[in-house]
Amino acid sequence: MESMYRGQERFTREQLVFVVEAALAGAMDKVDGAMAQSESDRSYFESQPQAEKDGLRQFQWGAVNQVGIFIPILWAQLNGDGMGTNDFYGWPEFEALVEQYIKDKTANPGLLHPNMRSLAEKIVDENFDEYLGLGDQNHVTFSQDITGTTTLFDSEGDQVDQYSTLFQGGDDLELDSQNPWSPGIGNEYEVLLHPAYPNNENHQVPLYGIEYEDRVRFGMGPAIKAEIHSDDRAESAEFDALPWFRVASDDEIVALAGIDYGGDYAADEVAQGVSDEGVRRVLNYAAARSQMGFEVYVNEEAALNWIENERPHLLARIEGQ
């Protein structure tokens, strides 16, 4: 597809946000202009024949649908590929916003339409990311097959459904650019992922199922939190024990559970079996001092969650100790 754009410079993110915001605001201005602007206007609008009211409603949605045509054209021209009408991230949100505004302004004629900046930013970030060279910054990749809990919400933010979802290793999930994730509900070893689309759901998944690089980039924290400190507590560090669990033998994991996941030699092996700068600093500090040791503690809840899902055959041995 040959682009209509003849400029020598590529659009910047700010320029695209400005163009999209102008399109959204223009449509909202048309919607607003076809409604009562005051209490005195309202009686006039309410007195109009139904055919006139229907015509105004068609005019409003005609203006809204122009956005659904314009943004795919803009995307197609800049990317050299096609995009269907209304087939972009952010369109359902725009439709819902317009419907809510019509409802609110009908009740309050003096209301002004909302600022379109944040929605324009979301549309640009989630649809023009490749053009802008944003790459996969808003994506996470699942490192293995995991089962998560998906929760659906209605337009008011109330939960309407919840069910289990299987995410396969190697799959990508595009996250909301403004609110990509939040801490898991009820524990520290899971995280809530907020997808870019549809934006009325979230997925609570165990951290160990997300690629390490993605967890670091988003600052999600360790999948299995562990802590090491020198005997004098002058040096300490938190680290992720997941790499150790993945390669540990069944007997090593059972031994760790047998000491309540910390404070003895079986836990020391966890720290000695990971590559972590903070752990290395504590170990070097202890090694350089006579009769100085260290202690390691692994989060029991996170460890058991991993064992239940990845080594369930060990549970009977652990419970029988």
Give just the sign of the alpha carbon dihedral 31, 178, 73, 18: positive
Is the backbone of residue 237 left (phi > 0), alpha (psi -120 to 50) or beta? beta
Is the predicted pLDDT of residue 3 greater than 90, yes or no? Answer: no
Q: Has residue 50 been placed in a domain?
A: yes
- Shared domain check, 123 and 27: yes
- Shared domain check, 184 and 272: no
Q: Has residue 302 been placed in a domain?
A: yes
Q: Identify the pLDDT of residue 136.
A: 57
- Where is average pLDDT lowest: 65-69, 137-141, 155-159? 137-141
Helix (H) or strand (E) holding 145: none
> How large is the angle between the packed helices 50-79 and 117-127, nearest 10 degrees?
40
Separation CA 140–CA 148 (nearest Å): 14
Of the candidates 207, 248, 213, the residue with the CA atom closest to the CA atom of residue 225: 207
Q: Has residue 5 been placed in a domain?
A: no
Contact assessment for residue 200 and residue 154, using Cβ atoms and an 8 Å cutoff: yes
- Shared domain check, 307 and 243: yes
229 alpha-carbon distance from chain centroid: 33
Domain boundary among 61, 92, 127: 127
pLDDT in tens, 83-115: 888 888 889 999 999 999 898 888 888 888 888
Q: Has residue 72 been placed in a domain?
A: yes
Separation CA 210–CA 169 (nearest Å): 9
Domain boundary among 199, 218, 237: 218
Separation CA 30–CA 303 (nearest Å): 57
- Shared domain check, 47 and 90: yes
Reported residue count of the chain is 321
Quick one: pLDDT band at residue 135, thresholds 50, 70, 90?
Answer: low
Three-class SS state of 131: coil
- Shared domain check, 35 and 77: yes
- Shared domain check, 269 and 182: no
Could you give the number of structural domains in the chain? 3
Helix (H) or strand (E) holding 247: helix 242-247
pTM: 0.59
Residue 115 gets which letter from DSSP?
Answer: P
> Could you tell me the end-to-end alpha-carbon distance of the chain, in angstroms, rounded to an integer?
68
The token pair at 255 is 């031994």
Q: Residue 171: give the domain boundaries.
A: 139-218
186 alpha-carbon distance from chain centroid: 18
pLDDT in tens, 145-156: 999 999 999 888
Q: Has residue 2 been placed in a domain?
A: no
Give the Cβ contact number of residue 197 at 10 Å.
Answer: 16
CATH number for position 157: 2.30.30
Is the backbone of residue 284 left (phi > 0), alpha (psi -120 to 50) or beta? alpha
- Shared domain check, 212 and 302: no
- Shared domain check, 268 and 235: yes
Separation CA 105–CA 176 (nearest Å): 29
pLDDT in tens, 199-245: 889 999 999 999 988 898 888 989 999 999 999 999 999 999 999 99
- Shared domain check, 72 and 52: yes
- Shared domain check, 100 and 36: yes
Is the predicted pLDDT of residue 289 greater than 60, yes or no? Answer: yes
Asked if omega into 198 is within 30° of 0 (cis), the reply is yes
- Shared domain check, 120 and 37: yes
Q: Has residue 4 been placed in a domain?
A: no
Q: What is the mean pLDDT of residues 123-128?
A: 86
Of the candidates 138, 122, 154, 146, the residue with the CA atom closest to the CA atom of residue 204: 146
Domain boundary among 187, 218, 249: 218
Quick one: pLDDT band at residue 251, thresholds 50, 70, 90?
Answer: very high
Q: Has residue 133 been placed in a domain?
A: no
**For the stretch 141-154, what's the b/e string if a residue is b when 16 or more beta carbons lie within 10 angstroms of its beta carbon?**
bbbbebebbbbeee
Residues 6 or more apart from 127 whose CB is under 8 A from it? 71, 75, 88, 89, 90
Instruction: Give Rg (Cα) of the chain.
Output: 27
Q: Has residue 8 been placed in a domain?
A: no
- Shared domain check, 105 and 38: yes
